[in-house]
Amino acid sequence: MEFVAILGVVILAVVLVVLMYRAARTFEAGAHATFITTKGGDYHGALREPTTVWNPSIRVLRDRHAPDISFMTCDASGQEYFEKSLVIRRTGEISLRVNTCAPRPFISRSSENRQLRVKARVAFQLDIDRIQIPVQMQSFGALLGARIENLFDNAIGEYENQDVRSRQGEIEAKVLQQLQDIEFPPDPTHPSGMPLGIRVYEAAMSIEPVANVATDGDAPGARGAMSYSTEELDELADMLEKANPATVETLMKMMELQTRHNIVEMLCKSGGLVAFTAPELGLSERPLDRKISGANRMTPAPKEQDGPATLTSTPAAAPAETPPPALDAASAYYAKGAPKRD
């Protein structure tokens, strides 16, 4: 009886050990996730289905041995950027789901050297048949993000600023094709880049112009011709080279009005009372009769007459009568009443 009891205990212990080993060595791999295994220190393969690894010499990479496969992405609103990992380090599970890599917004330039802010997104999935490539990489996400930026930047640089938005579909299709050709080159003997072991399904972008506005005190964005940097003037010159005369004339007029506006703002900040007429501000070309507008006026210089100037004799002025006591300007103005304006 004692022997039977001991044998039963041993069998029960073996069963418990087997069950515990099976629970610890069973991995739920499949279409959504996989696990990387090694044997004798060498890469052994990726699990493709739920499997119990009975061979103790086969190990699953996890914990501190787990691969680092992370990349930059953003939330649904496209405002918050964060780093996402495809590996659960505690278990070694590697996601095979389709993910979106979205590097932080970057500045690109069109063929006419105009700046554009680009937000790019690329949908990709790890290829289980080549998963050893990202597993063995040191910085998977950095290389993928830099490649996306570079390809979009090169594609945008082939178009003028006004054509980038209308050709956006062509740019996205071109970048997608280039990403796919790097992973699966048409000519394997001449690859165009290092494959990352992924499948790329979509490449998209959104663009917006870069607003180079200067904030001046209480008037944000108020700029004049003198506040442009050398780089901005070069961009403006490149744009004007291809513009028609009517566009150039309109732009010059707008810059002149903006400069006048800035001058008025600076004078008004002095705290004193400043009055301007429409012609002085360039808002009207109608001549102003300044005889009824007080002193301290700017009057246009008389036009030069053709031919030599002739001298004319003028009668001697009659002796002036003794003037009455002088009044100050304000009293004299209100004594005779304000002149009526037409």
pLDDT at 329 over 80: no
**Phi/psi of residue 167, nearest 5 degrees:** -105, 20
CB atoms within 10 A of CB 165: 13
The closest of 98, 309, 117, 313 to 207, measured between CA atoms, is 117
**Phi/psi of residue 205, nearest 5 degrees:** -150, 160
Least confident residue range of 90-94, 185-189, 281-285: 281-285
Taking the C-alpha atoms of residue 180 and residue 124, their distance in angstroms, rounded to an integer, is 10
Average predicted confidence (pLDDT) for the chain: 79
275: DSSP letter? -
pLDDT at 294 over 60: no
| Sign of the dihedral defined by the CA atoms of residues 136, 139, 142, 146, in that order | negative
- The reported pLDDT for the residue numbered 215 is 43
Classify the phi-psi angles of 131: left when phi > 0, otherwise alpha if psi is within -120 to 50, otherwise beta.
Answer: alpha
Per-residue CA distances from 6 to 10, 14, 16, 89 (Å): 6, 12, 15, 41
300: DSSP letter? P
- Is residue 152 within 8 Å of 72, Cβ to Cβ? no
Q: Comparing 218 with 45, which gets the higher pLDDT?
A: 45
pLDDT at 219 over 50: no
Q: Where are the domains of the chain?
A: 70-209, 215-268
226: DSSP letter? G
278: DSSP letter? T
Taking the C-alpha atoms of residue 236 and residue 248, their distance in angstroms, rounded to an integer, is 11
Per-residue pLDDT tens over the stretch 187-208: 988 888 899 999 999 999 999 8
Q: Which residues pair with 219 in a beta bridge?
A: 216
Per-residue pLDDT tens over the stretch 99-137: 999 999 999 998 878 889 999 999 999 999 999 999 999
What kind of architecture, by CATH, is found in domain 70-209?
2-Layer Sandwich (3.30)
Q: Where are the alpha helices (DSSP H) in 55-139?
A: 132-135
Quick one: how many helices (H) and strands (E) in the chain?
A: 8, 16
